[in-house]
Amino acid sequence: MQDIKKVVLAYSGGLDTSVILKWLIETYKCEVIAVTANLGQPEDLSGVEEKALKTGASKAYVVDLREEMAKDFVFPMMRGAAIYEGRYLLGTSIARPLIAKALVDIARKEGADAISHGATGKGNDQVRFEFAASALAPDIKVIAPWREWELMSRTALTAFADKHGIPISSAAKRYSMDANMLHTSFEGSELENPGNEPHESCHERCVPVEQAPDTPEMVSVDFECGNPVAVNGKALSPAAIITTLAEIAGRNGIGRDDMVENRFVGMKCRGVYENPAGTLLYKLHRDLEGICLDRELLGIRDMLAVRYSQCVYNGFWYSPEREAMQAFMDKSQEGVTGTVRAKLYKGGVWPLARTSPNSLFSEDLATFEGGDYDHKDAAGFIRLNSLRLRLHAAVKNKLKG
């Protein structure tokens, strides 16, 4: 066993991380510092410090990362139009590199030898935490208890907690869930079979569309250089924009998806995701780009967006390729400034109007009522662009002959 004197643990206060805290102390005979990240998740974090200290932590931090998450992680990802496998808006994925950064920062401050997380050996989160740690602090060891211990079931974890007097919730937990300001994910229970419909309790952020209001709601979002800066004309901080739009979209049943995705480790996984703010921002941002981005620039950005989203999903946030792609994404967004107004109704988002001081749309060119466009110019354009087709046809005819 490597000599470990002090460990910084990503701590939620739930069963897994509470057991991990005590297990680290017993197994490594070390000091454990608990770190809880406030990412705007719906859970009440009051009492989490006290619980960590009672379970054996030498110190307990609750770090407020809401504005940093929105400004430095969510917004750059949205500037990159990231959406994994065409559907998943990367709500869990984008939080992990930030949590890892917080763990490393506190490990440096406290002189810790290692950091630890509660991700299992099956999922993507272990990769995201440890890739981030490798990039930020390759000298700090990472302890992943799920890859070391023998506590491989909830029954075993509960028995360990009972033995060590660790208080756990008596309420049965139907799903494995992750939440932050942007999203809530649900996995496990009936969702482990893709042929089962989700239980009705699998709703937290988005009302069922049947319960959404019967009257459409209008919303407008202002953007500057690809970033949302105001909702309905009111300037807000990055985190406040996300929480405001989450409430607006969620009450209209917007942002829920039930999908099977391909995990980085190789297996398929079925999950239900609720990401109301991200869904709304993604659609309105794309709509504004329609008048602000050049056709070829948009095409290249969309090709890169696939690779960019894979970087985020697979845990390569701090990689050179993601950083290089981010520079391109940010350059592409320099002119994406303006306002989009949309109608929200029972799970749907319909942009109605978009304006921008940088619009590339020309009414004079697009109008059916004359204008300065000379239709005769199209003849030369067509002839030059079809030259290769006529040459190819000649060769085909020659081969047939």
> Does the annotation mark 16 as catalytic?
yes
What tens digit of pLDDT does each residue of 127-173 get?
A: 999 999 999 999 999 999 999 999 988 889 999 999 999 987 766 57
The pLDDT, as a whole number, for residue 2 is 67
- The fraction of the chain above a pLDDT of 90, given in percent, is 88
pLDDT higher than 90, residue 30: yes
Asked whether residue 141 is domain-assigned, the answer is yes
What is the average pLDDT score of the chain? 95
- Kindly give the pairing relationship between strand 114-116 and strand 6-10: parallel
The pLDDT, as a whole number, for residue 373 is 87
Rounded Cα gap, residues 341 and 337, in angstroms? 14
What tens digit of pLDDT does each residue of 217-260 get?
A: 999 999 999 999 999 999 999 999 999 999 999 999 999 999 99
Q: What is the domain extent for residue 130?
A: 6-74+88-173
Asked whether residue 194 is domain-assigned, the answer is yes
The pLDDT, as a whole number, for residue 171 is 61
Residue at which a domain ends, from 138, 173, 208: 173
| Domains identified in the chain, total number | 3
The pLDDT, as a whole number, for residue 32 is 98
Confidence at 306, pLDDT banded by 50, 70, 90:
very high
The distance from CA 359 to its chain's CA centroid, rounded to whole angstroms, is: 29
- Is 201 in the same domain as 344? yes
What tens digit of pLDDT does each residue of 163-198 get?
A: 999 987 766 578 888 999 999 999 999 999 999 999
- Is 136 in the same domain as 113? yes
Quick check: 251 and 343 in contact, CB under 8 A?
no
The pLDDT, as a whole number, for residue 123 is 87
The pLDDT, as a whole number, for residue 312 is 98
Rounded Cα gap, residues 8 and 32, in angstroms? 6
CA distances from 145 to 111, 117, 152, 248 (A): 21, 8, 10, 40
Q: What sign does the dihedral 59-60-65-69 (CA atoms) show?
A: positive
- Is 196 in the same domain as 139? no
Residue at which a domain ends, from 173, 192, 207: 173
- Is 123 in the same domain as 271? no
Select from 60, 8, 311, 14 the least CA-distant residue to 177.
14
In 29-177, which ranges are continuous DSSP H helix? 48-55, 66-69, 75-79, 96-110, 125-136, 154-163
pLDDT higher than 80, residue 370: no
Catalytic residue among 79, 113, 116, 125: 125
Rounded Cα gap, residues 41 and 38, in angstroms? 7
- Is 202 in the same domain as 153? no
pTM of the complete model: 0.94
Confidence at 272, pLDDT banded by 50, 70, 90:
very high
Quick check: 115 and 130 in contact, CB under 8 A?
no
> Does the annotation mark 96 as catalytic?
yes
Catalytic residue among 12, 18, 66, 96: 96
- Is 164 in the same domain as 214? no
Confidence at 49, pLDDT banded by 50, 70, 90:
very high
- Output phi, psi for 160, to 5 deg: -65, -45
- 3-state SS class at 182: coil
Catalytic residue among 176, 189, 237, 319: 176
Catalytic residue among 12, 16, 220, 270: 16
Asked whether residue 322 is domain-assigned, the answer is no
